[in-house]
């Protein structure tokens, strides 16, 4: 049995948290829980280098008895990284388009940053409408990419299909980690609010969810949506959204009064055998 802990959307900079000190507290708690693998489904900082440095420090802090793996969320992609670097970075802790086999089990952890294709919006409208709205109102308008959102999501699907097929052919059980939502069941619908509908288009992709179903993926960790919901089973797959979320003066999503307690309460630990 291997204990795997899962989190997402810690947003250290938005929440004004000293990530070095918090990393030490997190490492201590993870060791107390006898966790062997710690997964982070993106959105640590609004800066990729800061996110990468935090994960490196945490990986050093936990030592050889634990492995830390992460993928980038849209906030991590905002600064200090290019699209090519996101795709091609080679470092043990970064799991985008890579996998980790858990020794002495049949489990394989697969990571992909993910993206979106507007398919989760209640009213899809035209592609141009979403593109214009994103550039005008959405934080991701600052992320530079050498292709359209639909093309980028196509690459995600191609990568994911290949790596899932390989896992299936080798008879692996799969825990898939991505940042964006692969299921419409998690999307809040307010058709009377156009801004809300447009933002739902940036939440993820129905097509990724269909692919995960096709390959009978057992477990999926994702972030992006700060929902604070229990795990749920959809089409025989267990989905986890373990977002810590924002604690801001005008936008407080926490139900605990400090970051560590909020992180600990949102942390999900599963036993893989």
Residues 114-166: tens digit of each pLDDT: 999 999 997 766 889 999 999 999 999 999 999 999 999 999 999 999 999 99
Q: Where are the alpha helices (DSSP H) in 104-255?
A: 127-137, 149-169, 194-200, 206-214
Distance CA 254, CA 47 (A): 23
pLDDT of residue 219: 98
Nearest CA-CA partner of 54 in 12, 4, 9:
12
∠206-191-214 over CA atoms, to 5°? Answer: 10
Nearest CA-CA partner of 14 in 251, 177, 195:
251
pLDDT of residue 82: 98
pLDDT of residue 193: 66
What number of other Cβ atoms are within 10 A of residue 144's Cβ?
10
pLDDT of residue 124: 64
pLDDT band at 253, cuts 50/70/90?
A: very high
Q: Is the pLDDT of residue 90 over 90?
A: yes
pLDDT of residue 80: 98
Distance CA 101, CA 99 (A): 7
Which whole number is the average pLDDT over 58-64?
Answer: 97
Q: Which of 102-106, 155-159, 215-219, 247-251 has the lowest mean pLDDT?
A: 247-251
- Give the residues across from 205 on adjacent strands: none
Q: What's the CATH number for 2-272?
A: 3.60.21.10
Rg from Cα positions in the chain: 18
Which whole number is the average pLDDT over 46-73?
Answer: 98
pLDDT of residue 18: 98
**What phi, psi does 69 have (nearest 5°)?**
-135, 140
Residue 259: exposed, middle, or buried by beta-carbon count in 10 A (0-12, 13-18, 19+)? buried
pLDDT band at 72, cuts 50/70/90?
A: very high
pLDDT averaged over every residue in the chain? 96
3-class secondary structure, 237? strand
User: At 234, which helix (H) or strand (E)?
Assistant: strand 232-234
pLDDT of residue 125: 67
What number of other Cβ atoms are within 10 A of residue 216's Cβ?
13
pLDDT per position as a tens digit, 138-151: 999 999 999 999 99
> What is the value of pTM for the model shown?
0.97
């Amino acid at each position: 049995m291997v204990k795997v802990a899962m989190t997402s959307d810690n947003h250290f900079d938005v929440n004004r948290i000293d990530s070095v000190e918090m990393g030490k507290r997190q490492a201590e708690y993870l060791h107390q829980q006898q966790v062997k693998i710690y997964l982070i489904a993106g959105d640590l900082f609004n800066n990729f280098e800061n996110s990468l440095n935090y994960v490196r420090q945490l990986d050093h802090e936990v030592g050889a008895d634990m492995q830390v793996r992460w993928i980038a969320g849209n906030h991590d992609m905002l600064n200090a990284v290019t699209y090519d670097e996101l795709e091609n970075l080679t470092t043990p802790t970064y799991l985008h388009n890579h996998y980790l086999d858990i020794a002495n089990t049949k489990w394989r952890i697969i990571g992909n940053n993910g993206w979106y294709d507007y398919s989760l919006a209640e009213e899809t409208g035209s592609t141009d409408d979403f593109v214009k709205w994103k550039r005008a109102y959405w934080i991701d308008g600052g992320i530079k990419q050498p292709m359209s959102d639909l093309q980028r999501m196509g690459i995600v699907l191609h990568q994911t299909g290949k790596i899932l097929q390989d896992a299936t052919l080798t008879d692996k059980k799969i825990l898939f980690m991505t940042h964006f939502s692969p299921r419409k069941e998690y999307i809040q619908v307010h058709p009377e609010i156009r801004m809300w509908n447009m933002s739902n288009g940036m939440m993820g992709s129905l097509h990724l969810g269909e692919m995960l179903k096709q390959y009978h993926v057992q477990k999926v960790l994702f972030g992006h949506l700060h929902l604070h919901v229990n795990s749920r089973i959809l089409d025989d797959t267990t989905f986890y959204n373990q977002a810590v979320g924002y604690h801001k003066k005008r936008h407080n999503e926490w139900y605990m009064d400090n970051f560590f307690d909020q992180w600990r309460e949102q942390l999900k630990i599963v036993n893989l055998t």
